[in-house]
Amino acid sequence: MYFIILIGLFFACIGNKTVLQDTTIPSTTKEKVLDTIIKIESKKPNPKTVLIHKKETLTPKKKPKTNVEFFNHQSWDNLLQKHVSDQGTVNYNGLKKDFKILKTYLISLTKNTPKEDWPKSDQLAYWMNAYNAFTIKLIIDNYPIKSIKEIKDPWDFRFIKLEKKWYTLNDIEHRILRKMKDPRIHFGINCASLSCPKLLNKAFTSHNVNQELEKLTSDFINDPRQNLITKNTIQLSKLFTWFAKDFKTKGSLISFLNQYSKITIDETAKKSFKKYDWRLNE
């Protein structure tokens, strides 16, 4: 009799017991453990509550891309390194022989113009490379010549097609690059002439454009062939009178020059401008 009573008490305890199931799950970067409360139905009217651990696998978030170039200028870089010296002189005969490579690069420019979401550095690199590459094409198409000015209206000749729109060199310089409000662009674009700032023998990219423009600006200002600078007298390239407004956005022309000049120029220094040499830079 006592045996039967004990058996009954044993099963009654099982029916009223709350069960806790604990599953230990390794912690990883790809898994998230959630405590989930679920209802377990029993034979009695009130369901019993069981706490279990539920494993949920999560897809790891993708890290944002960094150091992404929106345009590949490598083929242009290869041509410049091959045919342009450190001093900026250009081997137009060599470029003419490699015209197929240049043409392929120009076509790539045509098919992928800058979009609004491109960083400024990518847009700046694209448009300066485009200006320089199409200037080279213009010279090659008319070569041999002694000066770019032998070509009729070279800066207003509408020969540049980018996607569905036609441009001139003046369009790129005045309506695009100058609107970026960076006066250093005048030392990054090249007009194929001896008095122009030298043609850089590498392509501009989003990663190097600021550094290269700083160097080109400093080199041009301190080049005695382009500018003669003393404390009280300066004889400058005509670039500084043609585009005077661009160099005065944050002060005077003298204050701009003093950011780069190895000789500190007095604000009252006497200014004059040198004759521009339009002979081909070869």
With bands split at pLDDT 50, 70 and 90, how would you rate the model's confidence at 67? low
pLDDT tens per residue, range 149-168:
999 999 999 999 999 999 99
Question: With 70 as the cut, is the pLDDT of residue 79 above it?
Answer: yes
Amino acid at 207: H
Buried b (16+ CB within 10 A) or exposed e, 37-62: eeeeeeeeeeeeeeeeeeeeeeeeee
| Residue 144 in tokens | 């041999």
Q: CA–CA separation, 229 vs 245, rounded Å?
A: 21
Residue of 231, 234, 242, 226 lying closest to 265 (CA atoms)? 231
Q: CA–CA separation, 197 vs 195, rounded Å?
A: 7
| Residue 76 in tokens | 């242009």
Residue of 263, 273, 255 lying closest to 231 (CA atoms)? 263
pLDDT tens per residue, range 101-149:
999 999 999 999 999 999 999 999 999 999 999 999 999 999 999 999 9
Percent of the chain residues topping a pLDDT of 90: 76
pLDDT tens per residue, range 219-257:
999 999 999 999 999 999 999 999 999 999 999 999 999
pLDDT tens per residue, range 48-60:
444 444 444 444 4
Its pTM stands at 0.77
Domain range annotation of the chain: 2-57, 74-220
More reliable by pLDDT, 5 or 76:
76
| Residue 116 in tokens | 């609004």
Q: CA–CA separation, 281 vs 145, rounded Å?
A: 11
With bands split at pLDDT 50, 70 and 90, how would you rate the model's confidence at 14? very low
Q: CA–CA separation, 267 vs 270, rounded Å?
A: 9
Q: CA–CA separation, 274 vs 237, rounded Å?
A: 5
Q: CA–CA separation, 90 vs 211, rounded Å?
A: 22
Q: CA–CA separation, 249 vs 121, rounded Å?
A: 20
pLDDT tens per residue, range 191-227:
999 999 999 999 999 999 999 999 999 999 999 999 9
What is the DSSP secondary-structure string of 107-127? HHHHH----TTS-HHHHHHHH
